[in-house]
């Protein structure tokens, strides 16, 4: 395994290859709401000089893992510098106000990225124009997250917003499937498995849309009597924009019920590392006798953390709703 850690001083143009000066490197990605993060500790030596805003590029066997910028440095008395870097998604933490009409998630991302002067990569065509989306003084992350969520609830398709290395991207997990198998006889080191109906399970969806004519809200309800009888009433209440018509509201309620009306299964895994594997991808897992199921299917990765230390590459990841 050959790692390369490049630090580029933007003011001087100097480039340092620092892989021999760090003991470990960690790269973390989340499927939603969080920029990719690279952390490492480097020993100050020679003429190494870098500061916040300088570029960091980390590759393994020639494959790019992370491209981003230094945001935090912390040095101790022995000259060890703890460094935290983020990718392009970090810039979407900025607050803004936007109003969109009949625009798809990719179009919304492209406009916001342009305003933030962030490069754009592969943006999938979701095929769903969002009737209206209006946000006042919210983070651009939250605005894009709402666009992706509305697309999911109205089409049933999950989309992942991430930094692809050359620009921000939007893709379906089905288009990012890893060709690696993780299981009892392949890479798996350890796991923990949890089931619950506590945090993201709902069997009754109530959507309220303002009605200017009546001065009251129009309410649209979708629920499952069988799981209500089994679990009790677990209700999700959400407000809708006034521009959504009755048919769209009913369809959204039904789609939300299909998405949330299930027992949540969470699997946390430790495994040997797969270079490039990131949150939002899908990977085939084969674990017989996993609690109440025999797992043999593709799972969606919610969070992935890679660690390279002493020439050993390991990773931890979490997946939901198996």
Contact call for residues 197 and 263 (beta carbons, < 8 A): yes
Q: In which band, very low, low, confident or very high, does the pLDDT at 44 lie, cut at 50, 70 and 90?
A: confident
Sheet holding 204-210, edge to edge: 217-223, 204-210, 235-239
Domain ranges of the chain: 3-86, 91-171, 176-197+264-320, 204-260
| The domain defined by 3-86 carries CATH number 2.40.37.10 | no
Q: Does residue 83 have a pLDDT over 90? A: yes
Report the candidate in 275, 269, 257 with the shortest Cα–Cα distance to residue 299.
269
Query: What global pTM score does this model have?
Result: 0.88
Contact call for residues 207 and 249 (beta carbons, < 8 A): yes
pLDDT in tens, 186-220: 999 999 999 999 988 999 999 999 988 888 889 99
| Phi, psi (degrees; rounded to nearest 5) at 248 | -65, -40
Percent of the chain whose pLDDT exceeds 70: 99
As a whole number, mean pLDDT of residues 302-313 equals 95
Average pLDDT, rounded, for the chain: 93
CATH fold label, 91-171: Phage tail protein beta-alpha-beta fold (3.55.50)
CATH fold label, 176-197+264-320: Elongation Factor Tu (Ef-tu); domain 3 (2.40.30)
How far apart (Å, rounded) are the C-alpha atoms in residues 306 and 271?
10
pLDDT score, position 322 = 61
For 254-289, the DSSP string reads HHHHHHHSS-EEEEEEEEE--TT--TT-EEEEEEEE
How far apart (Å, rounded) are the C-alpha atoms in residues 109 and 270?
33
């Amino acid at each position: 395994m050959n790692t390369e850690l490049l630090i580029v001083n933007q003011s001087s143009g100097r480039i340092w290859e620092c892989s021999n000066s760090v003991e470990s490197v960690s790269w973390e990605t989340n499927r939603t709401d969080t920029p990719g993060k690279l952390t490492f500790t480097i020993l100050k030596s020679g003429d190494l000089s870098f500061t916040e805003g300088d570029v960091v590029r980390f590759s393994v066997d020639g494959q790019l893992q992370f491209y981003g910028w230094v945001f935090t440095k912390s040095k101790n008395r022995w000259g060890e510098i703890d460094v935290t870097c983020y990718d392009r998604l970090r810039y979407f933490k900025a607050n803004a106000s936007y109003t969109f009409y009949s625009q798809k998630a990719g179009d919304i991302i492209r406009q916001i990225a342009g305003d933030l002067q962030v490069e754009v990569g592969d943006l999938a065509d979701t095929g769903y124009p969002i009737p209206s989306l209006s946000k006042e003084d919210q983070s651009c992350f939250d605005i894009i997250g709402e666009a992706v969520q509305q697309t999911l609830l109205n089409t049933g398709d999950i989309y992942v917003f991430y930094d692809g290395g050359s620009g921000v991207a939007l893709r379906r997990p089905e288009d990012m499937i890893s060709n690696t198998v993780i299981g009892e006889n392949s890479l798996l080191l350890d796991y923990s498995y949890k089931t619950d109906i506590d945090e993201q399970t709902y069997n009754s969806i109530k959507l309220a849309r303002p009605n200017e004519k009546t001065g009251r809200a129009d309410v649209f309800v979708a629920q499952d009597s069988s799981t209500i009888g089994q679990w009790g009433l677990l209700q999700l209440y959400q407000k809708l924009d006034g521009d959504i018509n009755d048919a769209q509201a009913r369809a959204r309620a039904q789609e939300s019920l299909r998405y949330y009306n299930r027992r949540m299964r969470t699997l946390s895994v430790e495994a040997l590392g797969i270079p490039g594997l990131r949150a939002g991808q899908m990977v085939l897992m084969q674990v017989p006798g996993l609690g109440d199921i025999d797992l043999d299917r593709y799972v969606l990765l919610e969070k992935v953390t890679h660690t390279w230390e002493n020439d050993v590459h390991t990773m931890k990841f979490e997946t939901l709703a198996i």
